[in-house]
Amino acid sequence: MHACQEQFVPRVVVDVMLKPEILDPQGQAVAAALPRLGVTGVTSVRIGRRVELEFADPPDPEQLTELADQLLANPVIEDYSITVPEPVPEDGP
Average pLDDT across the chain, whole number: 89
CATH number at residue 75: 3.30.1280.10
Q: Is the pLDDT of residue 26 over 80?
A: yes
Structure-model confidence comparison of residues 85 and 33, the more confident one: 33
Tell me the three-class secondary structure of 16-36, residue by residue. EEECCCCCCHHHHHHHHHHHH
Ramachandran assignment for 76, one of left (phi > 0), alpha (psi -120 to 50 degrees), beta (any other)? alpha
In a domain, 17, yes or no: yes
In a domain, 59, yes or no: yes
Handedness of CA 41, 44, 46, 50 (dihedral sign): negative
Asked if 78 contacts 16 with a C-beta cutoff of 8 angstroms, the reply is yes
Q: How many domains does the chain have?
A: 1
For 66, the 3-state DSSP assignment is: helix
CA distance 68 to 79: 10
Strand partners, 13: 52, 83
Q: Is the pLDDT of residue 88 over 60?
A: no
In a domain, 3, yes or no: no
Query: Confidence band (pLDDT; 50, 70, 90) for 7?
Result: low
In a domain, 62, yes or no: yes
In a domain, 57, yes or no: yes
In a domain, 1, yes or no: no
Q: Could you tell me the pTM of the whole model? A: 0.79
Domain that holds residue 39: 9-85
In a domain, 2, yes or no: no
